[in-house]
Amino acid sequence: MGGFISAAETEEGSIRTNTLQTQWLEEHARKIDQLMHDLQEIANRFESLGTQIDERIQSEEYLGLVRRAFRAWDRADTDEKRKYVRNIVSNAAGTKLCSDDVVRLFVDWLDLYHEAHFAVIRQIYNHPGSTRFEIWDSIHGELPREDSAEADLFRLLIRDLSTGGVIRQERETNVRGQFMRKRPARRMGALPSTMESAFEETKPYVRTGLGQQFMHYPMNEVVPRIGS
């Protein structure tokens, strides 16, 4: 009897192991198919950019970017992130908006930021000047309580992207591009009894200069040719 139970347990363990191996193989087969698809998309983009990028895509500097990018591609949790990596690889070959050092930073940002961050980034990319209320309303709709986990997460996303140098509150500049100081508003009467809302609706957010370049690389499918 003991031998029968032992054999049954061994068989059950083998089935479980085989199932896990099958799932692992199926997942990697799907990932390889996606990789081949993305590589073909990149190759098609290279053809559209012409032979003038040949020297660029064969350079060690560019190949280093590609290796870094596809490590981020492999760690990506969503197809959207993988598309962003694909766009960076293509756009870094065909445009010269910034140095390779900065493009490497962009790859690191893709690796660092969660899809929730990119939902905020997309809103500001598509609608510059959106307030926190407009960003939340566009993504989620109904407002949660100020002391909820959802509000705390939203504050964290805005703070991450602001301190990371991707977005900032809109400010006036002079002719030299210097930011103007805000005049402190005179308060009339008693101070408000509550703190500023996570979903404040008077302060617009825009891309920083670096954030504008970052959003160009992963979010644009079409880039100008080198030298254009």
pLDDT digits (tens, 9 = 90+) for 39-77: 777 777 777 777 778 888 888 888 888 889 888 888 888
The pTM score is 0.71
For residue 206, give the DSSP letter: E
156-188 as b/e, with b when 16 or more CB fall inside 10 Å?
Answer: ebbebbeebebbbeeeeeeeeeeeeeeeeeeee
Q: Is residue 25 in a domain?
A: no
Q: Is residue 28 in a domain?
A: no
| Full residue range of the structural domain in which residue 111 is found | 51-173+196-228
Domain count, the chain: 1
What CATH number is associated with residue 96? 1.10.10
Q: What share of the chain is helix, strand, coil (3-state, %, to 5)?
A: 65, 5, 30
- pLDDT in the model for residue 226: 42
Q: Are strands 167-169 and 205-207 parallel, antiparallel or unpaired?
A: antiparallel
Place of tokens 């089935």: 15
- pLDDT in the model for residue 160: 95
Q: Does position 130 have pLDDT exceeding 90, yes or no?
A: yes
Model confidence over 174-183: pLDDT tens digits?
878 776 777 7
- pLDDT in the model for residue 35: 73
